[in-house]
């Protein structure tokens, strides 16, 4: 990894054309061959960048980066104010917890959280337009399709509505109800769900994780 603080101008010609006027910036060259140009703002996003695979040609006061698609990034280095290089080695990588897949696992293990008496029939139940996240049976023996999202929005409701249509065609499952489960269900999604006769449930992830580990039953 090589870090250079420099006064520079930058031109990018690729999927769009962009230009950075002369100013002091950070040039960050990683071992993977990528290069990114950062200002002292704009949070984590660079002003401009080139993703690997690309080739960096360093001439006198001028870096030219190109890739296979013919995109080019040209950096004119007018003055270098600081520099730092260091080999970091491979990174063990980020361990994530709390994404949709995890939510689905937890709800599959605890469908009763969505509604008392709800029991899991199948996860990722296939239909010809895609898999239904959870297929369940309710306390009265009716089939329930559950669509799980981190955020419940309109398209989630429509996706579930399409699944319900397909499932209704199966005489063994009919009648089929739907539940949209999400950490947050947006107002528009609530309204549309109501209009479609679809129920929605907001799920508290931390609480659900507690259920999963038996914490709620311990205290």
Name the segment binding DNA (CB under 7 A); options: 47-55, 75-83, 134-142, 205-213. 47-55
Closest separation between CB of residue 5 and a copy of itself, Å?
5
Q: Which one of 25, 38, 149, 177 is in contact with DNA (CB under 7 A)? A: 149
Q: Is 86 in the site for DNA (CB under 7 A)?
A: no
Q: Which is nearer to a copy of itself, 89 or 116 (CB)?
A: 89
Angle between helices 100-109 and 205-212 (to 10 degrees): 50
Closest separation between CB of residue 194 and a copy of itself, Å?
27
Residue found under tokens 């962009």: 18
d(CA 84, CA 138): 62
Q: Which one of 70, 116, 175, 187 is in contact with DNA (CB under 7 A)? A: 187
d(CA 92, CA 163): 39
Q: Which is nearer to DNA, 75 or 173 (CB)?
A: 75
Q: Is 99 in the site for DNA (CB under 7 A)?
A: yes
Nearest to 161 by CA among 185, 173, 177, 174: 177
Q: Is residue 71 classed exposed, middle or buried when 0-12, 13-18 and 19+ CB atoms within 10 A define those classes?
A: middle
d(CA 33, CA 204): 41
Of these partners, a copy of itself, DNA, none, which one is at the site of residue 70 (CB under 5 to 8 Å by kind)?
a copy of itself
d(CA 28, CA 6): 11
Residue found under tokens 């609530």: 190
Q: Which strand (E) or helix (H) includes residue 103?
A: helix 100-109
Which residues bind to a copy of itself, rule: CB under 8 A?
1, 3, 5, 15-26, 28, 30-32, 34, 36, 38-49, 51-52, 69-70, 81-84, 86-99, 101-102, 205-206, 209, 213, 215
Closest separation between CB of residue 96 and DNA, Å?
6
d(CA 198, CA 154): 12
Of these partners, DNA, a copy of itself, none, which one is at the site of residue 186 (CB under 5 to 8 Å by kind)?
DNA
d(CA 94, CA 130): 30
Neighbours of 73 (CB within 10 A): 23
Q: Which one of 71, 76, 105, 138 is in contact with DNA (CB under 7 A)? A: 71
Interface residues toward DNA, by CB under 7 A: 12, 14-16, 18, 42-45, 48-51, 71, 73, 96, 99-100, 130-131, 149-151, 153-154, 186-188
């Amino acid at each position: 990894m090589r870090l250079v603080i420099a006064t520079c101008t930058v031109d990018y010609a690729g999927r769009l054309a962009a230009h950075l006027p002369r100013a002091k910036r950070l040039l960050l060259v990683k071992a993977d061959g990528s290069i990114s140009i950062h200002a002292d703002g704009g949070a984590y996003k660079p002003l401009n960048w080139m993703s690997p695979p690309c080739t960096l040609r360093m001439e006198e006061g001028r870096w030219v980066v190109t890739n296979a698609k013919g995109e080019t990034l040209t950096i004119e280095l007018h003055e270098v104010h600081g520099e730092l290089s260091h080999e970091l080695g491979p990174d063990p990588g980020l361990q994530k917890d709390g994404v949709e897949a995890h939510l689905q696992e937890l709800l599959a293990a605890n469908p009763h959280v969505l509604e008392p008496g709800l029991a899991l029939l199948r996860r990722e139940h296939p239909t010809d337009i895609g898999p239904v996240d959870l297929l369940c049976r309710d306390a009265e023996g009716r089939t329930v399709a559950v669509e799980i999202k981190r955020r419940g929005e309109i398209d989630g409701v429509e996706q579930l509505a399409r699944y319900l249509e397909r499932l209704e065609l199966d005489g063994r499952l009919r009648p089929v109800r739907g539940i949209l489960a999400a950490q947050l269900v947006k107002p528009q999604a609530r309204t549309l769900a109501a209009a479609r006769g679809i129920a929605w449930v907001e799920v508290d992830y931390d609480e659900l994780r507690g259920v999963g580990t038996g914490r709620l039953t311990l205290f």
